[in-house]
Amino acid sequence: MLRKGTPVRSVVAAQTTYRAYKEDLRRDFSSRCGYCDALDEFFGGVRGYQIDHFAPKSLFPEWLLEYRNLVYSCPFCNRAKSNKWIGDDKNIPNDGSSGFVDPCDPDLDNHLERDNHGRIRAKTDLGRYMIANLNLSLIRHQFVWQTQKMDELLGELLELEARLSADTEHYRSVLQEIARVTREHREYRRRAFEA
């Protein structure tokens, strides 16, 4: 599976600039890039993230403020996607083998998946097109995924630790040390990725 869930755009109040939708997008996309699924904390939080126009605003200025056309995006995916679009119809994002799938469309999971190492893999030709055109094979996408995975596993371990009995003191101290080192490591990485 590429992601834990498909983001859903909610009904939001109309704004006069697309940037004013950023907090709405952040909430609807659970602080994750719509394309690579990285949490914005790896890029300095909401200020480090950008708003991508799925149907490019340079080609379809009439959708500049169209909330259903906006994607919460990391700077790497936004830059890679740029104004790429197949054809000249804003309602046709792909032809089945070229183009893009809206991150809020569950169909995306039919074309892309994650392997156990965090690599984003194509399941179809359209998936291959997206990997190539969004630069989804960048090692940083794996790196960020692994960090998120470590956080999740650490959380699971700590839940288990809370249920251990007192005679497992050694096990507990090793686990706490792992938690401490992992947290510090995560903090260094967070700072290294700050925008």
Which residues are near Zn ion by CB under 5 A?
Answer: 33, 35-36, 74, 77
Q: How far is CA 40 from CA 47, 65, 157, 168, 192, in A?
A: 9, 22, 24, 38, 13
The least distance separating Zn ion from the CB of residue 16, rounded to whole angstroms, comes to 27
Cβ proximity to Zn ion: between 35 and 67 the closer is 35
The least distance separating Zn ion from the CB of residue 176, rounded to whole angstroms, comes to 34
The least distance separating Zn ion from the CB of residue 77, rounded to whole angstroms, comes to 3
Q: What is the 3-state secondary structure (H, E, C) of 79-134?
A: HHHCCCCCCCCCCCCECCCCECCCCCCHHHHHCEEECCCCCEEECCHHHHHHHHHH
Cβ proximity to Zn ion: between 55 and 144 the closer is 144
DSSP state of 31: T
Cβ proximity to Zn ion: between 33 and 126 the closer is 33
Token pair in block for residue 56: 């490019």
Cβ proximity to Zn ion: between 109 and 161 the closer is 109
The least distance separating Zn ion from the CB of residue 135, rounded to whole angstroms, comes to 9
Side chain identity, residue 117: H
